[in-house]
């Protein structure tokens, strides 16, 4: 399913989107299938599946540890696409990874593998628009949305350029720093939501961990929230993982529905 279509459905229902991240293969490829199913049951609207890279500079300690578990568990791009192809989801699936893994596989092949395994979006945190012409082209040819990030430090000039090129949704980085769960909503987040003026859906990520934050962010005007570290924390603890993933997804989904 294309991302745009999902946001359209949600808009009709007047709901915000819950975009749930976990790292594929954390701790095994088999577990990932089970966990994705749990997240979908809990109400996730879009699944963002990390393809683990050895040197994840945009990630904080929680997700770094998840990535390490996945690499230790034998996750590779080949295994990744095989795992994903067997998921058969009815909601959009987005790959999040670092540019070297895409570059090494070959941009064309990577995009084709994505399309063939049902992926409809790509997030590449170390690829700013300045360097992304080639990937952008290949993504368009394969009907995949290349999702761009904007940050509180993004200048007006760059913002305009990014908004022109961004597809699927715009990923608003809620605060300076790397990924990791926090309990509050930063003032800079509200300000950023106001600054990003576009018809493309806007989803806020980095630091969201509970339903209350999620609903505040939707009330501040965002179209969706992206939650990662809070889910990865549950996987790290390793107790009743599917049940607890589903419960947290439900809490967050209630938050973005405005029922918190």
Partner 1 sequence: MTLKLESKFGKYGGQFVPEVLMPALVELTEYYEKYKDDAVFNDELNHYLRDFAGRPSPLYFAKRLSREYGVKIYLKREDLIHGGAHKLNNTLGQGLLAKYMGKKRIIAETGAGQHGTACAMAGAAFDIKTEVYMGAKDTVRQRMNVYRMELMGTKVIPVKSGSQTLKDAINEAMRDWVANVETTHYMIGSVVGPHPFPTMVRDFQSVIGKEVRTQILEKEGRFPDSIVACTGGGSNAMGIFHPFIEEDVDLFAVEAGGSGMKTTEKEALHSATLCTGEDGILHGMRTKVLQNKYGQILESSSIAAGLDYAGVGPELAYLADIGRLKPCNSMDSEALLAFHDLCRFEGIIPALESSHAVAYVKRAAASGELGDIVVINISGRGDKDLETVMGMRK
Binding positions for partner 1, rule: CB under 8 A: 53-58, 60-61, 64, 71, 76-78, 98-101, 103-105, 125-128, 130-131, 148-155, 158, 162, 173, 176-178
114 vs 178, which CB is nearer to partner 1? 178
Q: Are 147 and 7 in contact (CB under 8 A)?
A: no
Q: Are 26 and 15 in contact (CB under 8 A)?
A: no
Strands 17-23 and 224-227, bridge-based pairing = parallel
151 vs 220, which CB is nearer to partner 1? 151
Q: What does residue 226 show for φ and ψ, rounded to 5 degrees?
A: -115, 125
105 vs 250, which CB is nearer to partner 1? 105
Which tokens in the block code for residue 132? 């992304």
44 vs 181, which CB is nearer to partner 1? 181
166 vs 211, which CB is nearer to partner 1? 166
Listed in sequence order, the DSSP H helices in the chain are 3-12, 29-42, 61-72, 77-85, 99-105, 107-116, 133-141, 156-165, 187-195, 211-219, 229-237, 241-257
Paired strand residues for 93? 47
Smallest separation, CB 171 to partner 1 (Å): 9
Smallest separation, CB 57 to partner 1 (Å): 5
**Is the peptide bond between 27 and the residue preceding it cis, with omega within 30 degrees of 0?**
yes
Smallest separation, CB 105 to partner 1 (Å): 7
Catalytic residue ranges: 48, 59
Q: Whole-angstrom Cα distance, residue 184 to residue 194?
A: 18
Among 104, 109, 111, 85, CA closest to 33: 85
């Amino acid at each position: 399913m294309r991302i745009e279509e999902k946001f359209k459905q949600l808009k009709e229902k007047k709901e915000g989107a819950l975009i749930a991240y976990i790292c594929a293969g954390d701790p095994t490829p088999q577990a990932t299938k089970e966990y994705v199913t749990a997240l979908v049951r809990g109400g996730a609207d879009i699944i963002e599946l990390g393809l683990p890279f050895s040197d994840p500079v945009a990630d904080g300690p929680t997700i770094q540890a998840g990535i390490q578990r996945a690499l230790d568990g034998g996750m590779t791009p080949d295994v990744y696409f095989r795992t994903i192809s067997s998921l058969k989801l009815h909601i959009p699936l987005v790959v999040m990874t670092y540019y070297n893994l895409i570059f090494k596989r070959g941009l064309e092949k990577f995009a084709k593998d994505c399309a063939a395994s049902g992926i409809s979006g790509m997030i590449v945190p170390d690829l700013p628009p300045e360097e992304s012409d080639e990937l952008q082209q290949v993504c368009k040819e394969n009907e995949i949305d290349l999702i761009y990030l904007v940050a509180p430090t993004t200048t007006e000039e760059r913002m305009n350029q990014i908004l022109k090129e961004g597809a699927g949704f715009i990923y608003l980085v809620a605060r300076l720093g790397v990924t990791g769960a926090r309990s509050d909503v930063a003032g800079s987040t509200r300000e950023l939501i106001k600054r990003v003026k576009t018809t493309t859906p806007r989803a806020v990520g980095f630091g969201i961990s509970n339903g209350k934050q999620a609903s505040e962010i939707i009330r501040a005007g965002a179209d969706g929230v992206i939650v990662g570290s809070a889910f990865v924390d549950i996987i790290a603890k390793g107790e009743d993982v599917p049940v607890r993933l589903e419960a947290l997804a439900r809490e967050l989904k209630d938050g973005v529905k405005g029922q918190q």
